Amino acid sequence: MSLVSLFIWLLVNNSNQNILFGRVTDISASTITIANRQNNLVIISIATSTRVTSRRDYVATDDITVGSFIQVTAIQGEDSMLAKSIRLMSNSGEGVQHGANQ
Amino acid sequence: MEQINRKKAFGFLVIVTAIVFSLLLVSIPTDTLFGYIGTENVYLFMFLVAFVGSLTTFASIPYPLILFGLAASGVPPFLIGLASAMGVITADSFTFVAVKRGRVLVNDKIISAIEKLAIYIKKYPRLLNFGLILYGTVSPLSNDFAVISLSLMKYKFFRVIPFLAIGNIFYNVGIAYLGVYAYDWIANFI
């Protein structure tokens, strides 16, 4: 990775923006919890402005289920992270059960 | 003469297209780019992200960060590293061919300096294979430096890309395993 591309990337993208991947372990009306391979949990707030997509289509938050593998673009707030967008993805590899068992 | 002009025009078109495409990529936020990619398959996703991230030196996505995150999230590290390496190699192949086409546009002084370097490299042909693997594996610099220079030196595609590909596979699989074993440590450190 060239440092130049990283620099330009930071300029174009919001510096408070996080790109996260993980398996959904819990979902409520206002938050979603995802786990990584080591079962470390991250709780992310969901707002009405949060876009949820599958492939190129918009879907409802209800389509996210426990066990789904997702990519979240989240903005870091003072206390918590707010999901700007959530993308449903597929991963049939190892580590699948780790998060889902939480 | 007419053929040289036609070659120059084609080379010019290739370079202008590459610059415009590069600027377009830089101006697209990552989240929007992910939307364009639009696949739910993690391996195809990583392949395309690495391809876009490697297509130009100043591309918009630092793809190793995505690879690192995906591996940490539970995706098999070897396979996701391999998918990423394939994306990089495909992009490097495009660059190699594009530079070959655009060689007629490069200043004669630059060509002359590169040919002097080529004479030196040709003295140790076996070292080039090892050097390319090592460059692909450990160099923090973009592959473009090696790809562009060797393409300008008129090296054949199969003399360069396969060895760089081996290095890229080591590099990408290495980053993926780093995501598996060092994610928490690095996240805490940051």
Question: Does residue A44 belong to any structural domain of this protein?
Answer: yes
- Regions of chain A short of the pLDDT cut 50: 1, 94-102
A55 phi-psi bin (left φ>0, alpha ψ -120 to 50, beta other): left
| Residue B26 or residue B176, greater confidence | B176
With CA atoms as reference, report the closest residue to A50 among A66, A65, A62, A67. A62
Number of domains in chain A: 1
What are the structure tokens assigned to A42, written together? 């991250």
CB within 8 Å of B62: residues ≥ 6 apart: A1, A5, A6, A9, B53
Averaged pLDDT of chain B: 84
How many Å apart are CA A23 and CA A95, to the nearest integer? Answer: 9
Residue, of B162 and B116, whose pLDDT is higher: B162
Q: Is residue A67 part of a domain?
A: yes
Strand stretches in A1-102, DSSP E = 17-27, 31-35, 41-45, 51-54, 57-58, 69-76, 81-89
Q: Which residue has the higher pLDDT, B136 or B115?
A: B136
pLDDT value for B91: 92
Q: What does the pLDDT read at residue B57?
A: 62
> Does residue A4 lie in a domain region?
no
Give this complex's ipTM. Answer: 0.77
Q: How far is CA B22 from CA B16, B26, B154, in A?
A: 10, 6, 25
pLDDT > 80? residue B16? no
Identify the closest residue of chain A to B88 by CA–CA distance. Answer: A1
pTM recorded for the entire structure: 0.83
Domain membership flag for residue A1: no
pLDDT digits (tens, 9 = 90+) for B55-114: 766 555 778 889 999 999 989 999 999 999 999 999 999 989 988 887 777 777 888 888
Q: What whole-number distance in Å separates Cα of residue A84 and Cα of residue A19? A: 10
Q: Inform me whether the C-beta atom of residue A102 falls under 8 Å from chain B C-beta atoms.
A: no
* Cβ within 8 Å, pair B39-A4: no
In Å, how far is A22's CA from the nearest CA of chain B?
Answer: 5
pLDDT digits (tens, 9 = 90+) for B33-43: 888 888 888 99
Whole-angstrom distance, CA of residue B100 vs CA of residue B74 = 40
pLDDT tens across B1-10, in order?
666 677 777 7
Report the chain B residue with the minimal C-alpha distance to residue A58: B35
Mean pLDDT of B162-171: 95
Q: Answer whether B70 touches A (CB < 8 Å).
A: yes
| Three-class HEC string of B35-51 | HHHCCCEHHHHHHHHHH
The answer to whether residue A98 neighbours chain B at the CB level (below 8 Å) is yes
pLDDT of B136 above 60: yes
Alpha carbon of B134: minimum distance to chain A alpha carbons (Å): 15
Q: Which domain holds residue A22?
A: 16-100
Domain contains A7: no
Contact yes or no for B106/A54 (Cβ under 8 A): no
| CA-closest candidate to residue A98, choices A20, A25, A21 | A25
Q: Is B106 exposed, middle or buried (0-12, 13-18, 19+ CB in 10 A)?
A: middle
Residue B158 confidence (pLDDT) above 80: yes
Token pair of B30, please?
A: 């990552």
Q: How many CB pairs under 8 A join A and B?
A: 118
* Cβ contact A95–B74 (<8 Å): yes
Lowest-confidence pick of A49-53, B21-25, B106-110, B147-151: B21-25
Domain ranges of chain B: 2-189
Domain membership flag for residue A8:
no
Query: A60 in contact with B at a CB cutoff of 8 Å?
Result: no
CATH number at A24 reads 2.40.50.320
Q: Are A94 and B62 an interchain contact pair (Cβ–Cβ within 8 Å)? A: no
Please state, in angstroms and rounded to a whole number, the distance separating the CA atoms of residues B111 and A82: 52
C-alpha B84/C-alpha B190 separation (Å) is 24
Residues of A within 8 A of B76 (CB-CB) are 93-95
Q: Is the CB of B31 less than 8 angstroms away from the CB of A17? A: yes
User: Which chain B residues touch A76 with a CB distance below 8 Å?
Assistant: none
Q: Which of A5, A23, A53 sits opposite B74 (nearest CB)?
A: A23
CB-closest option in A2, A53, A73 to B141: A2
Q: What angle do CA B46, B128, B155 make, to 5 degrees?
A: 80
